[in-house]
Amino acid sequence: MRHIQAQICQHGFVVLFFLLPLPGKGADRDQTPGYTLSAQPVLVASGLCVEIPCNFTVPASRTLSRSVTGIWRRTETPDIVAASTEASMVSEGTKGRFTLTGKVHEGNCSFSISNARPADQGFYEFRIEDGKHRYSYQWNRLRVSVTDLPEPTISPVGELIAGKPITLTCTAHPAPQGCKGNITWGGRINIENIYNYEREDQAGKVTSISDITVTPSQREHNSPLTCTVTYSGVSTNSSITLDVQYPPSLTITVPGHNGTYENKSVTVIEGDTKRLRCEVNSNPVADVSWWRGDEILSETSGQGLTLALQNDYIADTVTYTCLARNTHGSVSGTVSVTVASLTHDKKTNHLIILMIRGLSILALSGIIAVPAVLVMRCRKKRRQRQAEDNQKSSPEN
């Protein structure tokens, strides 16, 4: 092991020795005739792979032996990133990720990068070593740019309607065949059907696509749906928040009374509660209105509406209807409100008591008409039975 390392160091030294003096050689400032290298600058997304086609020539007077070694190295550092022989020469940072794929003796300097890292960005230079024939193609540096790995896209992000099946598509960033993505979905919504496929473009890049069929319900409104694309070792995701549209539902409550009152009756004590609350759950927001018969009492657009009962309406049993409507449907609920006129009774009793108390004083005055006035008032104001009750209670005082 030590022995090999020593050799590597020696080799590295030799490489440096040959590389460094060249630009200073004055006469060699220009490209040596016959030595050409052709490779296009490459752009690779972090985590993905790329195949870099490359070819080179040597002067016609020179021929390459089968044992020629091709070396790709960084220009900024002495790091060898790929070599056609002696893999041990390759620096740790790129070992196994950079591969010289071309047959060097055929003038093919193609190489590949897999699982690209941001640190791979930079300039690279090709070199051949064939016995004493050694040359660095420093005039044809290759630029490698590493971009962020793009997130997949989810479509459509438009209208999801409760109960209606819809297809959602996740499209991954195009990647070479060698490192194409694998799509998975995450979220609360139940996926009924999944269909994964690929589309290959002219450059040979593969776009992974996944179609899912879902039937959203109100339960999934505002929940996230995530699409994750896993490439060799790296993954990227994107999420949408499901906006599920659904028709309104409503709940009627009466402050001071427990429970819900839609399609029920409630008895309120006069003076205690004069409000009916209609809570509406819908998406999009509903038009909410309170009705008495076919008379509209109050309306709004929102998540609820409180009806303040006017004094006029506090009479017998009155049925109020709350109606909520949005583009997906409408719903109504009624509440029958009976007002118990307890305060009214008390007031009358109080009056009677006062009158009865006054009676003894008046009796002393010898006025006999008082009982008759009492009966008359009661008849006018009260129903027969109540009047009788009052008269019954009067002797007790």
Ligand X SMILES: *[C@@H]1O[C@H](CO)[C@@H](O)[C@H](O)[C@H]1NC(C)=O
Q: Is 47 left (phi over 0), alpha (psi -120 to 50) or beta?
A: left
| Given 36, 182, 391, 394, the residue binding ligand X (CB under 6 A) | 182
Q: Which stretch binds ligand X (CB under 6 A): 1-9, 37-45, 134-142, 281-289?
A: 37-45
281 is a contact residue toward ligand X (CB under 6 A) = no
Are the C-beta atoms of 54 and 40 separated by less than 8 Å? Answer: no
Are the C-beta atoms of 104 and 69 separated by less than 8 Å? Answer: yes
Q: Name the residue among 191, 233, 237, 231 with its Cα closest to residue 214.
A: 191
CB closer to ligand X out of 108 and 207: 108
Q: Which stretch binds ligand X (CB under 6 A): 178-186, 288-296, 303-311, 356-364?
A: 178-186
333 is a contact residue toward ligand X (CB under 6 A) = yes
Q: Is 258 helix (H, G, I), strand (E, B) or coil?
A: coil
List, in order, residues 6 or more apart from 263 with CB less than 8 Å away: 333, 334, 335
| Given 222, 258, 310, 365, the residue binding ligand X (CB under 6 A) | 258
237 is a contact residue toward ligand X (CB under 6 A) = yes
List, in order, residues 6 or more apart from 103 with CB less than 8 Å away: none
| Given 5, 10, 32, 40, the residue binding ligand X (CB under 6 A) | 40
332 is a contact residue toward ligand X (CB under 6 A) = yes
Contacts 24+ apart (CB under 8 A), 21-28: 22/136, 22/138, 23/138
| Given 102, 152, 216, 247, the residue binding ligand X (CB under 6 A) | 102
Q: Tell me the backbone φ, ψ of residue 43, rounded to 5 degrees.
A: -125, 125
262 is a contact residue toward ligand X (CB under 6 A) = yes
Q: Name the residue among 155, 147, 212 with its Cα closest to residue 175.
A: 147
38 is a contact residue toward ligand X (CB under 6 A) = yes
186 is a contact residue toward ligand X (CB under 6 A) = yes
75 is a contact residue toward ligand X (CB under 6 A) = no
263 is a contact residue toward ligand X (CB under 6 A) = yes
249 is a contact residue toward ligand X (CB under 6 A) = no
Point out which residues pair with 302 in neighbouring strands. Answer: 286
Q: Using CB atoms within 10 A of its CB, is residue 279 exposed (0-12), middle (13-18) or buried (19+)?
A: middle
293 is a contact residue toward ligand X (CB under 6 A) = no
| Given 36, 57, 75, 110, the residue binding ligand X (CB under 6 A) | 110
53 is a contact residue toward ligand X (CB under 6 A) = yes
Q: Could you tell me the smallest distance in angstroms from the CB atom of residue 136 to ligand X?
A: 19
248 is a contact residue toward ligand X (CB under 6 A) = no
Q: Cα separations (Å) of 365 from 94, 167, 213, 373, 376? A: 122, 95, 95, 16, 21
CB closer to ligand X out of 99 and 348: 99
What is the per-residue binding string for ligand X in 123-162, x denoting contact by CB under 6 A?
Answer: ----------------------------------------
Q: Which two tokens stand for residue 307?
A: 């009806």
CB closer to ligand X out of 80 and 254: 254
Contacts 24+ apart (CB under 8 A), 299-303: 303/279
Task: Give the binding site for ligand X (CB under 6 A).
Answer: 38-40, 53, 55, 101-102, 108, 110, 182, 184, 186, 226, 228, 237, 258, 262-263, 332-333
